[in-house]
Amino acid sequence: MMGWQVTSYVSGGRYSTAEREDYASLARLMDDVAADWRAAATAWSSAALELARDQASLTWCSSVVPDEGVTISHSSLPYGTLIQRCSDHAAACEAIGGELDEMSSLLIRAHSLYEDCESWARRLVTETLQMTATALPKHSLFGTAAAVASGIAVGSASEGGFNPIYGLTSTAWAQEGLLSGAATYLGGIHPGLAPMLTNEVNVAAGALATGTKPLKDTMQGDCLTVVEVEPNAMVVGSSTSVAESLENLRRLAEERLGKIDLGSGLSYATIAVQRYRREDGSSAWLVTIPGTDGEWDSPFGWMQNIELMSDDPRQRMQADSARMVAEAMRQAGIGGDEPVALIGHSQGGIVAATIASDLADEYDIRHVVTAGSPVANHPIPSKTWVTSIEMDDELVAALDGAENPRTGNWLTIRGHATRSVQTTPAGVGADGSCAPGNGVSSWGKDFAAAEVTGAPESKEITHWLKYHQAAYRNATDLGSPAVVTHERHFQQVIEGELEETRYYRGRMSLYGASAAPSSAHRIDTDAFGGRD
Amino acid sequence: MKCGRHAGVWITPTIRPHAPFRLDERGRARFNGRMSMFDQTSAFGGAPSTFGADYVCSCHGIVAASQSLVHARVAQTRLAADDTATPQARSMTMPWEGNAASLFRQRLADCASAAQRALDDAEATLRIAGAGA
């Protein structure tokens, strides 16, 4: 049975330059030694051929052919044995060279040694595509359509059935450039300025939001009600790491959409706020924010994404989802000097980045984790560490039209999904019988990739959290110092014992007539910058 | 390996770092089904045989060349094996930690062992070549 696996590439984060140079030097040395072994392999192969030729030459020797009575000495070698051994040596040398190459690649990937080159190449492609899309929009549209169509055709043929998701995969490399090109148009940005900017999408989103916000308010209303709800079962548990928090995020996201049933009774537009008690008695907070649910009265609808992507902080904080999370944080009693970590998926990640950017003076937001969120241009202050996990063909993360900043406080893990043999874990059946697994561990795969848990056989959109979880797992396995440092920072922020987990649900209404209990709090958007 | 001094036909391009050899047309013509004992050139072409005039079969030259070839390959393998120890030693002093780092160090150690085995095997081949004369 086939499944999917994710290979991760890390950029940004904190590195020691000296250490990095050491790793680069070791990688070069290993490449040299691998080249030596490959040369030896070629030489042994060549030797086998030459010995075969020598052996053929000896067939003319009179020690082989009856001589004519002249007594002379002859000599020979066990050529058959020697030729076989030369071939064996060639194979052994080739294997050692290949092994060294693989380990060198692992070292390079784990420490992002080609990060600068890759980043420049990506930026070059993005800016070139952006300029092309701006100068030749019709041609670009045709080219994009052709790339999508060919991707779908090839992918569907390989899978044996029509699957349009391959259109995203085939255009993954171009998505940021094409989107920023389209945004240059929509945002009314002068094409000459575009190559110097990275926030074209945010400018365009701001322009769009001026039209979509009234439309949304007319359809959905602008009255936000946030209430605390009690779950019937635990959904978001205690966490001590980014990986555990991602798993909690996935549980909450899937529970509220009914994709899993944990019996909690939680519905859409529900977030979790957890208080951790530190050893010194102070509190630390973790806010878990799922993504878009698209329900008609949800503050996490589709149109809120446009406001969240605006380059105008007032527009961002007027987005219903950002208002809801800010209100939940207020109701939970998060103090201005208490450390806070935010983790969000998709729109939840954009909300987290928005709050870290625009409520930086009100809260001590120390760490933000985003999964599949286009947040490259959000002005998150340097005091906040950002760990962004993105899949290269999920499209959503590319909606910012730019690469995330590669700074010490901003770490980006980019995942690339490939097909793999799906494994099943070993277990004990209900009757006590042992069910052997067929698992190939990440170790067995040389940490080339991490398996996506529960992935279907056919290609699906990689925006689902399970792909980001696999990407983070692979990055963690690599032991990149940048990932380790960010992980440690996140752990330090929420270090302590989980004291309480509170869930807050948001609903939109036209007239403010809400069925919320008395604890419900009507959000005044003016509190976050006011309306124009 | 010697290279023919007179015009001949290129017969074998090789990746091995030596000058290409040529088919010795003159020497081949003299074989006529047997190796020549008299005034022949090397079987590899080029300079006149040093042993032809001594009524010694040129198979000695071929065997010596084969042994020399194996010796050169073993020396090349020894150099590569010696170099393999360096990355392994350096990996032990790196601060890199985690699952992949453990795998990396173990696989480099495996590489070093494989390199030593390859060298041992190559030297055994050299002994076979030496004993077979």
Q: What residues of A are in contact with residue B65 (Cβ under 8 Å)?
A: 54
DSSP assignments along A51-92, one per residue: HHHHHHHHTTSTTTS---S---------HHHHHHHHHHHHHH
Paired with A369 in beta bridges are A343, A387
In Å, how far is B103's CA from the nearest CA of chain A? Answer: 7
Of A47, A51, A477, the CB nearest to B100: A477
Please answer yes or no on whether A54 and B65 come within 8 Å at the CB atom: yes
- The answer to whether the CB of A390 falls within 8 A of the CB of A412 is yes
CA angle B72/B75/B80 to nearest 5° reads: 130
Q: What residues of B are in contact with residue A62 (Cβ under 8 Å)?
A: 34-35, 57
Asked if B88 reaches chain A (Cβ–Cβ under 8 Å), the answer is: no
Closest CA to A172 of A148, A194, A153: A148
pLDDT digits (tens, 9 = 90+) for B32-68: 444 444 444 445 444 444 444 445 677 888 888 999 9
DSSP assignments along A92-110, one per residue: HHHHHHHHHHHHHHHHHHH
In Å, how far is A448's CA from the nearest CA of chain B? Answer: 9
Residues 36-65 of B with CB under 8 A from A: 37, 43, 55-60, 62-63, 65
- The answer to whether the CB of A374 falls within 8 A of the CB of A397 is yes
CA angle A83/A85/A87 to nearest 5° reads: 70
ipTM of the complex model: 0.81
Residue A353 in tokens: 């980045």
- CA B89: distance to chain centroid? 29
- The answer to whether the CB of B21 falls within 8 A of the CB of B3 is yes
Largest CA distance in chain B: 70
How much of chain A is helix, strand and coil, in % rounded to 5? Answer: 45, 15, 35
> CB under 8 Å to B28, separation ≥6 — which residues?
none
- The answer to whether the CB of B122 falls within 8 A of the CB of A89 is yes
What's the pLDDT at A54? 87
Asked if B82 reaches chain A (Cβ–Cβ under 8 Å), the answer is: no
Strands A364-371 and A385-391: parallel
The C-alpha atoms of residue A446 and residue A277 are separated, in whole angstroms, by 39
Whole-Å CA distances, A250 to A230, A255, A262: 19, 8, 12
Alpha helices in A221-241 (DSSP H): none
In Å, how far is A73's CA from the nearest CA of chain B? Answer: 6
What's the pLDDT at A276? 97
In Å, how far is B112's CA from the nearest CA of chain A? Answer: 9
Query: End-to-end distance of chain A based on CA atoms, in angstroms?
Result: 57
User: What does the domain layout of chain A look like in residue ranges?
Assistant: 17-60+77-114, 117-186, 221-425+444-528
- The answer to whether the CB of A372 falls within 8 A of the CB of A92 is no
Please answer yes or no on whether B60 and A73 come within 8 Å at the CB atom: yes
Closest CA to B44 of A86, A51, A46: A51
The C-alpha atoms of residue A206 and residue A217 are separated, in whole angstroms, by 16
What's the pLDDT at A507? 95
Asked if B104 reaches chain A (Cβ–Cβ under 8 Å), the answer is: yes
What's the pLDDT at B38? 43
b/e for B92-109, b at 16 or more Cβ within 10 A? eebebebebbebbbebbe
Chain A: residue whose CA lies nearest to B131 = A77
Amino acid residing at A362: E
What's the pLDDT at A106? 94
Quick one: DSSP state of residue A163? -
The C-alpha atoms of residue A30 and residue B88 are separated, in whole angstroms, by 9
Please answer yes or no on whether B63 and A77 come within 8 Å at the CB atom: yes
- The answer to whether the CB of A507 falls within 8 A of the CB of A514 is yes
Q: What residues of A are in contact with residue B107 (Cβ under 8 Å)?
A: 99, 102-103, 446
The C-alpha atoms of residue A218 and residue A508 are separated, in whole angstroms, by 11
Of A22, A40, A479, the CB nearest to B101: A479
Whole-Å CA distances, B95 to A65, B65, B91: 66, 49, 9
Of B37, B90, B114, the CB nearest to A70: B37
The C-alpha atoms of residue B125 and residue B67 are separated, in whole angstroms, by 10
Residue B71 in tokens: 């010796």
Please answer yes or no on whether A26 and B94 come within 8 Å at the CB atom: yes
> CB under 8 Å to A17, separation ≥6 — which residues?
none
Asked if B35 reaches chain A (Cβ–Cβ under 8 Å), the answer is: yes
Stronger pLDDT, A382 or B132, i.e. the higher one: A382
Strands A385-391 and A410-421: parallel
Q: What residues of A are in contact with residue B95 (Cβ under 8 Å)?
A: 19, 481
Interface size A-B, in CB pairs within 8 Å, comes to 193
What's the pLDDT at A349? 98
Q: What residues of A are in contact with residue B100 (Cβ under 8 Å)?
A: 106, 110, 447, 477-479
In Å, how far is B4's CA from the nearest CA of chain A? Answer: 16
Quick one: DSSP state of residue A400? G
In Å, how far is A408's CA from the nearest CA of chain B? Answer: 19
What's the pLDDT at A436? 61
What's the pLDDT at B77? 97
User: What does the domain layout of chain B look like in residue ranges?
Assistant: 1-57, 69-131
- CA A282: distance to chain centroid? 33
Residue with tokens 């009100």: A362
In Å, how far is A413's CA from the nearest CA of chain B? Answer: 16
What's the pLDDT at A438? 57
b/e for A42-54, b at 16 or more Cβ within 10 A? bbbbbbbebbebb
What's the pLDDT at A524? 43
> CB under 8 Å to A294, separation ≥6 — which residues?
A300, A301, A302
Closest CA to A90 of A44, A38, A36: A44
The C-alpha atoms of residue A494 and residue A369 are separated, in whole angstroms, by 13
Q: What residues of B are in contact with residue A67 (Cβ under 8 Å)?
A: 34
3-class DSSP state for residue A435? strand
Neighbours of A198 (CB within 10 A): 21
What's the pLDDT at A390? 97
Q: Based on the number of CB atoms within 10 Å of its own CB, is A114 exposed (0-12), middle (13-18) or buried (19 or more)?
A: middle
Residue A225 in tokens: 């009600």
What's the pLDDT at A137? 86
Mutation pick from A85, A102, A108, A473 vs chain B, by most beta carbons of B within 10 Å, is: A85
pLDDT digits (tens, 9 = 90+) for B65-118: 999 999 999 999 999 999 999 999 999 988 898 899 999 999 999 999 999 999
Whole-Å CA distances, A283 to A330, A339, B31: 15, 7, 96
pTM of the model: 0.81
Residue B89 in tokens: 């030693």
Q: What residues of A are in contact with residue B56 (Cβ under 8 Å)?
A: 72-73
Q: What residues of A are in contact with residue B113 (Cβ under 8 Å)?
A: none
Whole-Å CA distances, A178 to A145, A277, B31: 12, 47, 73
Q: Which pLDDT band, with edges at 50, 70 and 90, does B29 fall under?
A: very low
Query: How many alpha carbons fall within 13 Å on the CB side of residue A100?
Result: 33
Whole-Å CA distances, A130 to A134, A372, A417: 6, 22, 25
pLDDT tens track, chain A, 532 positions: 688 999 999 999 887 888 889 999 999 999 999 999 999 999 999 999 999 998 888 776 766 555 455 556 777 789 899 999 999 999 999 999 999 999 999 999 999 998 888 889 988 999 899 889 888 889 999 999 999 999 999 999 999 999 999 999 999 999 999 999 889 888 888 878 877 888 899 999 999 999 999 999 999 999 999 999 999 999 999 999 999 999 999 999 999 989 999 999 999 999 999 999 999 999 999 999 999 999 999 999 999 999 999 999 999 999 999 999 999 999 999 999 999 999 999 999 999 999 999 999 999 999 999 999 999 999 999 999 999 999 999 999 999 999 999 999 999 999 999 998 766 666 666 677 776 655 567 777 788 899 999 899 999 999 999 999 999 999 999 999 899 999 999 999 999 999 999 999 999 998 764 433 333 344 444 444 333 3
What's the pLDDT at A435? 63
